[in-house]
Amino acid sequence: AQRVTQPEKLLSVFKGAPVELKCNYSYSGSPELFWYVQYSRQRLQLLLRHISRESIKGFTADLNKGETSFHLKKPFAQEEDSAMYYCALSPSGSARQLTFGSGTQLTVLP
Amino acid sequence: DAGVIQSPRHEVTEMGQEVTLRCKPISGHDYLFWYRQTMMRGLELLIYFNNNVPIDDSGMPEDRFSAKMPNASFSTLKIQPSEPRDSAVYFCASSLGPQGRGYTFGSGTRLTVV
């Protein structure tokens, strides 16, 4: 069975500081990894996925299979980045369900 | 497309009452998921459907919970009888084809059972 761990429930940084939200996973195969973001009282939105290797809103995430990690990073945090961030994993192949981590609440202080 | 539509946005009910949550997935999406979000447990998958057929309901906490998808454009999650510990935000999500595209979530239903 797959598992996603986000070790930090809360994370606070100052505006302009770098930020890294940690995500570790356990899965025996080749997973697909995602980051979702939920702004205050809004729906969850897909932020980025490792397959596309994209940068969204200045965020990037690299899949490290050796460390089984998919940490989310941004070099200069902005106040509007304050939100709940969820890391999610989907087994490759025919399975469809996403397994989410417990989430990290990021607060960017002025 | 209006996205995934959930109703109601908020529901307050008394313990013991029946609660029905509704979801309209994105047209053409063949997978529908129900998640529950709480502070303590984060996001939990309750059940998901593929082409209107329930595939995995192992996340449904108790027999008090049931879900149906009578057609491709509508699903319900019912709790009968409701209990205060069911208070949470319930999200519906839909997806099409390969998982690599991710889900589209609805705005959620905030349920409060008093």
B27: β partners: none
B23: β partners: B6, B75
**Upstream peptide bond of B81 is cis (omega within 30 degrees of 0):** yes
Question: Are A96 and B48 inside 8 Å of each other by CB?
Answer: yes
- Which chain A residues touch B if contact means CB-CB below 8 Å? 32, 34, 36, 42-46, 49, 51, 86, 90, 95-103
Question: Are B41 and A102 inside 8 Å of each other by CB?
Answer: yes
- DSSP letter at B94 equals E
Tens digits of residue pLDDT in A23-70 = 999 988 888 889 999 998 888 998 988 877 778 899 999 889 899 999
**Upstream peptide bond of B8 is cis (omega within 30 degrees of 0):** yes
Least Cα distance to A67 among A99, A109, A22 occurs for: A22
- The SS3 call for residue A80 is helix
Tens digits of residue pLDDT in B41-93 = 888 889 999 999 999 898 998 899 999 999 999 999 999 999 999 999 999 99
- For residue B74, give the H/E element and its range: strand B74-79
Mean pLDDT for the stretch of residues B1-30: 94
Tens digits of residue pLDDT in A63-107 = 898 999 999 999 999 999 999 999 998 877 655 678 899 999 999
A85: β partners: A37, A104
Closest residue in B to A41 (Cα) is B107
